[in-house]
Amino acid sequence: MTLEQVIETTSANYPSIRASQAQQRAAQGAIGVAKTAYLPHSDILWQTDRATANNILGLLLPQATIPSVTGEVLPPDPTRSAWNSAGGALVSWQPFDFGARSAKVEVARQGSEAARQAAFLTQLQVSANAGSVFFDLSAAEQLVTVAKANVQRYESFDKAVHILVDNTLRPGADASQADAQLALARNQLIQVETQVAIRRAALAEYLQTKQEQVEVDVSGLLTEPPASDLSIITAVSHPAVLEEHALNLQQEAQKRFLDRSYVPVFSTSGVVFGRGAGTNASGVFPGGTAGLAPDTLNWAAGIQVSFAALDFFNIRDQRRVQEANIEAEHARLDQAVSDVTTAVEQAQANLAGARQLRANTPIELAAAQASEQQQQARYRSGLATVVDVSAAEGVLAQAEGDDAIARLGVWRAELGLAVAQGDLQPFLQLLQGQAKGK
Protein backbone atom coordinates (compact mmCIF):
# COMPACT_ATOMS: atom_id res chain seq x y z
CA MET A 1 0.00 0.00 0.00
CA THR A 2 1.17 3.49 -0.80
CA LEU A 3 0.91 6.32 1.72
CA GLU A 4 -2.11 7.70 -0.12
CA GLN A 5 -3.88 4.34 0.09
CA VAL A 6 -3.07 4.05 3.79
CA ILE A 7 -4.62 7.45 4.50
CA GLU A 8 -7.73 6.69 2.43
CA THR A 9 -8.23 3.26 4.02
CA THR A 10 -7.78 4.61 7.53
CA SER A 11 -10.27 7.42 6.88
CA ALA A 12 -12.86 4.88 5.73
CA ASN A 13 -12.43 2.18 8.37
CA TYR A 14 -11.05 3.52 11.64
CA PRO A 15 -13.63 3.28 14.47
CA SER A 16 -13.06 6.70 16.04
CA ILE A 17 -13.66 8.36 12.67
CA ARG A 18 -16.92 6.48 12.20
CA ALA A 19 -17.93 7.42 15.76
CA SER A 20 -17.26 11.14 15.15
CA GLN A 21 -19.24 11.00 11.91
CA ALA A 22 -22.18 9.43 13.76
CA GLN A 23 -21.99 12.19 16.38
CA GLN A 24 -22.04 14.71 13.55
CA ARG A 25 -25.25 13.18 12.17
CA ALA A 26 -26.78 13.27 15.64
CA ALA A 27 -25.92 16.96 16.01
CA GLN A 28 -27.40 17.63 12.57
CA GLY A 29 -30.61 15.93 13.68
CA ALA A 30 -30.75 18.21 16.73
CA ILE A 31 -31.43 21.14 14.37
CA GLY A 32 -34.64 19.48 13.23
CA VAL A 33 -35.59 18.80 16.83
CA ALA A 34 -35.13 22.48 17.69
CA LYS A 35 -37.24 23.56 14.71
CA THR A 36 -40.19 21.46 15.90
CA ALA A 37 -40.74 24.13 18.57
CA TYR A 38 -42.36 26.23 15.82
CA LEU A 39 -45.06 23.58 15.28
CA PRO A 40 -48.40 23.53 17.14
CA HIS A 41 -48.66 21.23 20.14
CA SER A 42 -51.55 18.81 20.35
CA ASP A 43 -52.77 16.58 23.21
CA ILE A 44 -55.47 13.94 22.74
CA LEU A 45 -57.14 12.35 25.74
CA TRP A 46 -59.62 9.56 26.40
CA GLN A 47 -60.54 8.08 29.74
CA THR A 48 -63.17 5.76 31.14
CA ASP A 49 -63.74 4.97 34.81
CA ARG A 50 -66.28 3.52 37.23
CA ALA A 51 -66.63 5.58 40.39
CA THR A 52 -68.98 6.92 43.00
CA ALA A 53 -70.58 10.35 42.50
CA ASN A 54 -70.21 11.80 45.98
CA ASN A 55 -69.18 15.44 45.80
CA ILE A 56 -68.65 18.26 48.26
CA LEU A 57 -68.11 21.96 47.94
CA GLY A 58 -64.82 23.58 48.83
CA LEU A 59 -61.36 24.29 47.56
CA LEU A 60 -58.69 21.66 46.94
CA LEU A 61 -55.14 22.77 46.27
CA PRO A 62 -53.51 21.45 43.07
CA GLN A 63 -52.05 18.00 43.59
CA ALA A 64 -51.64 14.66 41.79
CA THR A 65 -53.14 12.21 44.27
CA ILE A 66 -56.87 12.88 44.81
CA PRO A 67 -59.05 12.80 41.64
CA SER A 68 -61.38 15.77 41.05
CA VAL A 69 -65.15 15.33 41.04
CA THR A 70 -67.31 17.93 39.25
CA GLY A 71 -70.96 18.81 39.39
CA GLU A 72 -73.45 19.80 42.05
CA VAL A 73 -73.38 18.32 45.53
CA LEU A 74 -75.51 15.16 45.67
CA PRO A 75 -76.79 13.23 48.64
CA PRO A 76 -73.86 11.09 49.75
CA ASP A 77 -74.25 7.45 48.79
CA PRO A 78 -70.92 5.61 48.74
CA THR A 79 -72.63 2.30 47.87
CA ARG A 80 -73.56 3.27 44.32
CA SER A 81 -71.24 3.88 41.37
CA ALA A 82 -71.59 4.84 37.71
CA TRP A 83 -69.60 5.00 34.50
CA ASN A 84 -67.80 8.22 33.60
CA SER A 85 -66.03 9.05 30.37
CA ALA A 86 -64.18 11.95 28.83
CA GLY A 87 -62.39 12.63 25.60
CA GLY A 88 -60.97 15.64 23.90
CA ALA A 89 -58.21 17.24 21.88
CA LEU A 90 -56.25 20.38 22.72
CA VAL A 91 -54.16 22.22 20.13
CA SER A 92 -51.91 25.05 21.28
CA TRP A 93 -49.48 27.22 19.39
CA GLN A 94 -47.16 30.04 20.31
CA PRO A 95 -47.56 32.69 17.59
CA PHE A 96 -44.46 34.69 18.56
CA ASP A 97 -41.72 34.28 21.11
CA PHE A 98 -39.48 37.37 20.82
CA GLY A 99 -36.77 35.27 19.13
CA ALA A 100 -36.39 32.55 21.76
CA ARG A 101 -37.07 29.66 19.38
CA SER A 102 -34.77 31.01 16.67
CA ALA A 103 -32.02 31.33 19.27
CA LYS A 104 -32.55 27.67 20.21
CA VAL A 105 -32.34 26.67 16.56
CA GLU A 106 -29.11 28.65 16.25
CA VAL A 107 -27.71 26.85 19.30
CA ALA A 108 -28.42 23.52 17.61
CA ARG A 109 -27.07 24.74 14.25
CA GLN A 110 -23.76 25.87 15.76
CA GLY A 111 -23.57 22.63 17.73
CA SER A 112 -23.93 20.76 14.45
CA GLU A 113 -21.17 22.85 12.88
CA ALA A 114 -18.91 22.19 15.87
CA ALA A 115 -19.58 18.46 15.56
CA ARG A 116 -18.81 18.62 11.84
CA GLN A 117 -15.47 20.29 12.45
CA ALA A 118 -14.76 17.85 15.29
CA ALA A 119 -15.31 15.00 12.82
CA PHE A 120 -12.90 16.64 10.38
CA LEU A 121 -10.38 17.10 13.18
CA THR A 122 -10.69 13.46 14.25
CA GLN A 123 -10.20 12.31 10.68
CA LEU A 124 -7.19 14.61 10.33
CA GLN A 125 -5.56 13.38 13.53
CA VAL A 126 -6.17 9.69 12.81
CA SER A 127 -4.94 10.03 9.22
CA ALA A 128 -1.87 11.91 10.43
CA ASN A 129 -1.14 9.21 12.98
CA ALA A 130 -1.56 6.52 10.33
CA GLY A 131 0.79 8.43 8.04
CA SER A 132 3.34 8.77 10.81
CA VAL A 133 3.20 5.03 11.50
CA PHE A 134 3.58 4.43 7.74
CA PHE A 135 6.80 6.45 7.79
CA ASP A 136 7.96 4.64 10.95
CA LEU A 137 7.47 1.28 9.28
CA SER A 138 9.09 2.46 6.04
CA ALA A 139 12.10 3.81 7.91
CA ALA A 140 12.43 0.58 9.88
CA GLU A 141 12.33 -1.46 6.68
CA GLN A 142 15.04 0.75 5.16
CA LEU A 143 17.15 0.21 8.26
CA VAL A 144 16.67 -3.55 7.87
CA THR A 145 18.07 -3.27 4.35
CA VAL A 146 21.02 -1.28 5.70
CA ALA A 147 21.57 -3.76 8.54
CA LYS A 148 21.51 -6.73 6.15
CA ALA A 149 24.08 -5.07 3.92
CA ASN A 150 26.18 -4.36 7.00
CA VAL A 151 26.00 -8.01 8.05
CA GLN A 152 27.03 -9.14 4.56
CA ARG A 153 30.04 -6.82 4.59
CA TYR A 154 31.06 -8.05 8.03
CA GLU A 155 30.65 -11.67 6.92
CA SER A 156 32.96 -11.07 3.95
CA PHE A 157 35.44 -9.22 6.13
CA ASP A 158 35.26 -11.92 8.82
CA LYS A 159 36.11 -14.62 6.25
CA ALA A 160 39.04 -12.57 4.94
CA VAL A 161 40.38 -12.02 8.46
CA HIS A 162 40.14 -15.74 9.29
CA ILE A 163 42.05 -16.61 6.10
CA LEU A 164 44.83 -14.21 7.09
CA VAL A 165 44.89 -15.52 10.66
CA ASP A 166 44.90 -19.13 9.50
CA ASN A 167 47.91 -18.32 7.33
CA THR A 168 49.58 -16.60 10.31
CA LEU A 169 49.55 -13.30 8.47
CA ARG A 170 47.52 -11.67 11.23
CA PRO A 171 47.33 -12.30 14.97
CA GLY A 172 44.49 -14.45 16.35
CA ALA A 173 43.06 -11.45 18.16
CA ASP A 174 42.00 -10.06 14.80
CA ALA A 175 39.78 -13.07 14.21
CA SER A 176 38.13 -12.67 17.61
CA GLN A 177 37.60 -8.97 17.01
CA ALA A 178 36.06 -9.63 13.59
CA ASP A 179 33.78 -12.31 15.05
CA ALA A 180 32.61 -9.90 17.73
CA GLN A 181 31.85 -7.18 15.17
CA LEU A 182 29.92 -9.67 13.04
CA ALA A 183 27.86 -10.76 16.06
CA LEU A 184 27.18 -7.11 16.89
CA ALA A 185 25.99 -6.45 13.33
CA ARG A 186 23.66 -9.45 13.53
CA ASN A 187 22.27 -8.17 16.84
CA GLN A 188 21.54 -4.83 15.23
CA LEU A 189 19.72 -6.61 12.40
CA ILE A 190 17.57 -8.51 14.90
CA GLN A 191 16.70 -5.26 16.68
CA VAL A 192 15.57 -3.43 13.55
CA GLU A 193 13.61 -6.48 12.35
CA THR A 194 11.81 -6.43 15.69
CA GLN A 195 10.97 -2.76 15.18
CA VAL A 196 9.55 -3.60 11.75
CA ALA A 197 7.21 -6.19 13.29
CA ILE A 198 6.09 -3.75 16.00
CA ARG A 199 5.40 -0.93 13.56
CA ARG A 200 3.69 -3.24 11.10
CA ALA A 201 1.28 -4.25 13.85
CA ALA A 202 0.64 -0.59 14.65
CA LEU A 203 -0.15 0.20 11.02
CA ALA A 204 -2.40 -2.87 10.77
CA GLU A 205 -4.43 -1.49 13.67
CA TYR A 206 -5.06 1.76 11.79
CA LEU A 207 -5.95 -0.16 8.64
CA GLN A 208 -8.21 -2.53 10.64
CA THR A 209 -6.58 -5.56 9.04
CA LYS A 210 -4.18 -8.38 9.93
CA GLN A 211 -0.50 -7.70 10.38
CA GLU A 212 0.58 -10.22 7.75
CA GLN A 213 -1.52 -8.41 5.14
CA VAL A 214 0.35 -5.11 5.57
CA GLU A 215 2.98 -4.27 2.97
CA VAL A 216 4.05 -0.70 2.26
CA ASP A 217 5.30 0.79 -0.99
CA VAL A 218 7.75 3.69 -0.56
CA SER A 219 9.45 3.47 -3.95
CA GLY A 220 7.97 6.78 -5.04
CA LEU A 221 9.19 8.51 -1.88
CA LEU A 222 12.83 7.39 -2.07
CA THR A 223 13.64 8.97 -5.42
CA GLU A 224 13.32 12.73 -5.24
CA PRO A 225 11.73 15.04 -2.68
CA PRO A 226 8.78 17.20 -3.79
CA ALA A 227 9.92 20.06 -5.99
CA SER A 228 7.94 22.64 -4.03
CA ASP A 229 6.54 22.89 -0.54
CA LEU A 230 2.91 23.26 0.46
CA SER A 231 1.41 26.73 0.39
CA ILE A 232 0.87 28.29 3.79
CA ILE A 233 -2.72 29.06 4.71
CA THR A 234 -4.13 31.05 7.63
CA ALA A 235 -4.86 29.44 10.97
CA VAL A 236 -8.55 30.37 10.83
CA SER A 237 -9.23 27.59 8.30
CA HIS A 238 -7.97 24.82 10.61
CA PRO A 239 -10.73 22.45 11.85
CA ALA A 240 -9.69 23.01 15.47
CA VAL A 241 -10.13 26.77 15.06
CA LEU A 242 -13.41 26.37 13.16
CA GLU A 243 -14.71 24.04 15.88
CA GLU A 244 -13.91 26.56 18.60
CA HIS A 245 -15.46 29.33 16.50
CA ALA A 246 -18.69 27.33 16.21
CA LEU A 247 -18.69 26.61 19.95
CA ASN A 248 -18.20 30.32 20.56
CA LEU A 249 -21.21 31.17 18.39
CA GLN A 250 -23.20 28.45 20.13
CA GLN A 251 -22.55 30.02 23.54
CA GLU A 252 -23.55 33.45 22.22
CA ALA A 253 -26.77 31.97 20.80
CA GLN A 254 -27.49 30.43 24.20
CA LYS A 255 -27.08 33.87 25.77
CA ARG A 256 -29.53 35.34 23.22
CA PHE A 257 -32.01 32.65 24.24
CA LEU A 258 -31.67 33.69 27.90
CA ASP A 259 -32.08 37.35 26.93
CA ARG A 260 -35.40 36.46 25.29
CA SER A 261 -36.64 34.22 28.09
CA TYR A 262 -37.78 36.93 30.50
CA VAL A 263 -40.76 37.95 28.39
CA PRO A 264 -44.52 37.21 28.39
CA VAL A 265 -45.47 33.92 26.77
CA PHE A 266 -48.35 34.18 24.31
CA SER A 267 -50.18 30.96 23.51
CA THR A 268 -53.26 30.38 21.37
CA SER A 269 -55.37 27.32 22.16
CA GLY A 270 -58.27 25.44 20.67
CA VAL A 271 -60.00 22.57 22.40
CA VAL A 272 -62.86 20.16 21.67
CA PHE A 273 -63.95 17.83 24.45
CA GLY A 274 -66.86 15.76 25.65
CA ARG A 275 -67.98 14.37 28.99
CA GLY A 276 -70.21 11.47 29.91
CA ALA A 277 -71.54 10.65 33.39
CA GLY A 278 -73.63 7.77 34.69
CA THR A 279 -75.53 10.07 37.03
CA ASN A 280 -77.24 13.43 36.76
CA ALA A 281 -77.70 16.55 38.84
CA SER A 282 -80.80 15.14 40.54
CA GLY A 283 -78.85 12.19 41.86
CA VAL A 284 -80.46 9.58 39.62
CA PHE A 285 -78.27 6.65 38.51
CA PRO A 286 -79.63 5.39 35.18
CA GLY A 287 -77.30 2.36 35.36
CA GLY A 288 -76.34 0.16 32.44
CA THR A 289 -73.94 1.74 29.98
CA ALA A 290 -74.90 5.29 30.83
CA GLY A 291 -71.72 7.39 31.00
CA LEU A 292 -69.55 5.02 28.93
CA ALA A 293 -69.55 7.45 26.01
CA PRO A 294 -69.40 11.25 26.14
CA ASP A 295 -72.81 12.78 25.58
CA THR A 296 -72.04 16.40 26.42
CA LEU A 297 -69.75 18.18 23.97
CA ASN A 298 -67.93 21.51 24.32
CA TRP A 299 -65.43 23.52 22.41
CA ALA A 300 -63.31 26.56 23.20
CA ALA A 301 -60.73 28.81 21.61
CA GLY A 302 -58.67 31.60 23.07
CA ILE A 303 -55.34 33.17 23.76
CA GLN A 304 -53.39 33.00 26.98
CA VAL A 305 -50.59 35.24 28.21
CA SER A 306 -48.38 34.15 31.08
CA PHE A 307 -45.40 35.84 32.64
CA ALA A 308 -43.14 34.30 35.27
CA ALA A 309 -42.17 37.53 36.99
CA LEU A 310 -39.98 35.99 39.68
CA ASP A 311 -37.88 34.11 37.11
CA PHE A 312 -35.93 37.34 36.78
CA PHE A 313 -33.47 36.32 39.50
CA ASN A 314 -32.91 32.86 38.06
CA ILE A 315 -32.41 34.14 34.51
CA ARG A 316 -30.13 36.93 35.75
CA ASP A 317 -27.83 34.38 37.39
CA GLN A 318 -27.99 32.13 34.34
CA ARG A 319 -26.90 35.07 32.17
CA ARG A 320 -23.90 35.64 34.42
CA VAL A 321 -22.93 32.01 34.04
CA GLN A 322 -23.40 32.23 30.27
CA GLU A 323 -21.30 35.39 30.01
CA ALA A 324 -18.48 33.54 31.78
CA ASN A 325 -18.92 30.62 29.37
CA ILE A 326 -18.64 33.01 26.42
CA GLU A 327 -15.51 34.58 27.85
CA ALA A 328 -13.97 31.13 28.34
CA GLU A 329 -14.89 30.13 24.78
CA HIS A 330 -13.29 33.32 23.42
CA ALA A 331 -10.09 32.41 25.26
CA ARG A 332 -10.18 28.87 23.87
CA LEU A 333 -10.59 30.28 20.37
CA ASP A 334 -7.59 32.55 20.84
CA GLN A 335 -5.62 29.61 22.19
CA ALA A 336 -6.58 27.44 19.21
CA VAL A 337 -5.40 30.11 16.76
CA SER A 338 -2.14 30.47 18.68
CA ASP A 339 -1.59 26.71 18.82
CA VAL A 340 -2.18 26.28 15.09
CA THR A 341 0.07 29.22 14.21
CA THR A 342 2.87 27.83 16.37
CA ALA A 343 2.42 24.32 14.95
CA VAL A 344 2.67 25.65 11.39
CA GLU A 345 5.83 27.59 12.21
CA GLN A 346 7.38 24.50 13.81
CA ALA A 347 6.38 22.36 10.83
CA GLN A 348 8.00 24.85 8.46
CA ALA A 349 11.23 24.76 10.47
CA ASN A 350 11.14 20.96 10.51
CA LEU A 351 10.61 20.87 6.74
CA ALA A 352 13.50 23.27 6.13
CA GLY A 353 15.76 21.09 8.27
CA ALA A 354 14.60 17.93 6.52
CA ARG A 355 15.48 19.41 3.13
CA GLN A 356 18.94 20.39 4.36
CA LEU A 357 19.53 16.88 5.70
CA ARG A 358 18.32 15.40 2.41
CA ALA A 359 20.89 17.51 0.56
CA ASN A 360 23.73 16.59 2.94
CA THR A 361 23.33 12.85 3.48
CA PRO A 362 24.53 11.90 -0.04
CA ILE A 363 27.82 13.65 0.78
CA GLU A 364 27.99 11.74 4.06
CA LEU A 365 27.23 8.46 2.29
CA ALA A 366 29.81 8.96 -0.47
CA ALA A 367 32.53 9.83 2.04
CA ALA A 368 31.64 6.82 4.24
CA GLN A 369 31.74 4.47 1.24
CA ALA A 370 35.16 5.78 0.19
CA SER A 371 36.44 5.50 3.76
CA GLU A 372 35.20 1.90 4.10
CA GLN A 373 36.89 0.88 0.85
CA GLN A 374 40.12 2.57 1.87
CA GLN A 375 40.19 0.93 5.30
CA GLN A 376 39.53 -2.47 3.74
CA ALA A 377 42.46 -1.94 1.36
CA ARG A 378 44.68 -0.64 4.15
CA TYR A 379 43.89 -3.67 6.28
CA ARG A 380 44.78 -6.06 3.47
CA SER A 381 48.02 -4.13 3.07
CA GLY A 382 48.74 -4.33 6.77
CA LEU A 383 48.38 -0.59 7.35
CA ALA A 384 45.12 -0.72 9.33
CA THR A 385 43.68 -2.78 12.17
CA VAL A 386 40.41 -4.62 12.54
CA VAL A 387 39.22 -1.79 14.77
CA ASP A 388 39.85 0.72 11.97
CA VAL A 389 37.83 -1.36 9.52
CA SER A 390 35.04 -1.88 12.06
CA ALA A 391 34.84 1.85 12.69
CA ALA A 392 34.60 2.50 8.95
CA GLU A 393 31.90 -0.15 8.59
CA GLY A 394 29.93 1.43 11.42
CA VAL A 395 30.18 4.88 9.86
CA LEU A 396 29.05 3.45 6.51
CA ALA A 397 26.03 1.73 8.07
CA GLN A 398 25.13 4.96 9.87
CA ALA A 399 25.46 6.97 6.65
CA GLU A 400 23.31 4.50 4.70
CA GLY A 401 20.64 4.67 7.38
CA ASP A 402 20.80 8.47 7.55
CA ASP A 403 20.45 8.73 3.78
CA ALA A 404 17.44 6.42 3.63
CA ILE A 405 15.68 8.17 6.52
CA ALA A 406 16.49 11.61 5.08
CA ARG A 407 14.83 10.63 1.81
CA LEU A 408 11.65 9.83 3.73
CA GLY A 409 12.17 12.75 6.09
CA VAL A 410 11.19 15.42 3.56
CA TRP A 411 7.89 13.67 2.82
CA ARG A 412 7.28 13.16 6.54
CA ALA A 413 7.88 16.87 7.11
CA GLU A 414 5.49 17.76 4.26
CA LEU A 415 2.85 15.59 5.93
CA GLY A 416 3.53 17.35 9.22
CA LEU A 417 3.05 20.74 7.58
CA ALA A 418 -0.25 19.62 6.02
CA VAL A 419 -1.45 18.34 9.40
CA ALA A 420 -0.42 21.56 11.14
CA GLN A 421 -2.49 23.51 8.60
CA GLY A 422 -5.47 21.19 9.03
CA ASP A 423 -5.86 19.92 5.47
CA LEU A 424 -4.32 16.77 3.95
CA GLN A 425 -5.62 17.35 0.42
CA PRO A 426 -2.63 19.48 -0.74
CA PHE A 427 -0.30 16.77 0.57
CA LEU A 428 -2.23 14.04 -1.24
CA GLN A 429 -1.98 16.09 -4.41
CA LEU A 430 1.81 16.19 -3.94
CA LEU A 431 1.80 12.39 -3.67
CA GLN A 432 -0.29 12.07 -6.81
CA GLY A 433 2.06 14.39 -8.68
CA GLN A 434 5.04 12.34 -7.51
CA ALA A 435 3.38 9.14 -8.70
CA LYS A 436 2.69 10.65 -12.14
CA GLY A 437 6.28 11.90 -12.38
CA LYS A 438 7.62 8.47 -11.55
Going along the chain from its start, the domains and CATH numbers come out as 3-48+80-437 (1.20.1600.10)
**Phi and psi torsions of 275, nearest 5°:** -130, 145
pLDDT of amino acid 408: 92
pLDDT of amino acid 1: 87
Q: Which residues pair with 274 in a beta bridge?
A: 87, 297
Confidence band (pLDDT; 50, 70, 90) for 129? very high
pLDDT of amino acid 436: 67
pLDDT of amino acid 435: 65
pLDDT of amino acid 437: 60
pLDDT of amino acid 136: 94
CA 33 remoteness from chain centre? 24
Q: What is the pLDDT of residues 39-63, one digit of tens each?
A: 999 999 999 998 888 877 778 888 8
Nearest to 123 by CA among 428, 347, 335, 333: 428
pLDDT of 288 over the 90 cut: no
Contact 51, 84 (CB under 8 A): yes
Answer positive or negative: Cα dihedral of 309, 310, 311, 315.
positive
pLDDT of 213 over the 60 cut: yes
Which H helix or E strand runs over 17?
A: helix 15-35
Contact 368, 398 (CB under 8 A): yes
pLDDT of amino acid 381: 86
Contacts of 80 (CB under 8 A, 6+ apart): 52, 53, 285
Percent of the residues in the chain that have a pLDDT greater than 70, as a whole number: 99
Q: Which of 262-266, 278-282, 310-314, 414-418 has the lowest mean pLDDT?
A: 278-282
Q: Which of 26-40, 51-65, 239-253 has the lowest mean pLDDT?
A: 51-65
Q: What is the pLDDT of residues 343-372, one digit of tens each?
A: 999 999 999 999 999 999 999 999 999 999
Q: What is the pLDDT of residues 78-123, one digit of tens each?
A: 778 889 899 999 999 999 889 999 999 999 999 999 999 999 999 9
Percent of the residues in the chain that have a pLDDT greater than 90, as a whole number: 70
Contact 135, 6 (CB under 8 A): no
CA distances from 368 to 112, 242, 267, 307 (A): 58, 50, 87, 87
pLDDT of 153 over the 60 cut: yes
Q: How many helices (H) and strands (E) does the chain have?
A: 8, 4
Confidence band (pLDDT; 50, 70, 90) for 434? confident
Q: What is the pLDDT of residues 370-401, one digit of tens each?
A: 999 999 999 888 888 899 999 999 999 999 99
Output 189-195 pairs: Cβ under 8 A, ≥24 positions apart.
189/144, 189/147, 189/148, 189/150, 189/151, 192/140, 192/143, 192/144, 192/147, 193/144, 193/147, 195/140, 195/143
Q: What is the pLDDT of residues 331-347, one digit of tens each?
A: 999 999 999 999 999 99
pLDDT of 243 over the 70 cut: yes
The amino acid present at 231, given as its one-letter code, is S
pLDDT of 438 over the 70 cut: no
pLDDT of 228 over the 90 cut: no
Q: What is the mean pLDDT of residues 204-225?
A: 86
Give the residue with greater pLDDT, 184 vs 71.
Answer: 184
Average pLDDT, the chain: 90
Q: What is the mean pLDDT of residues 165-184?
A: 90
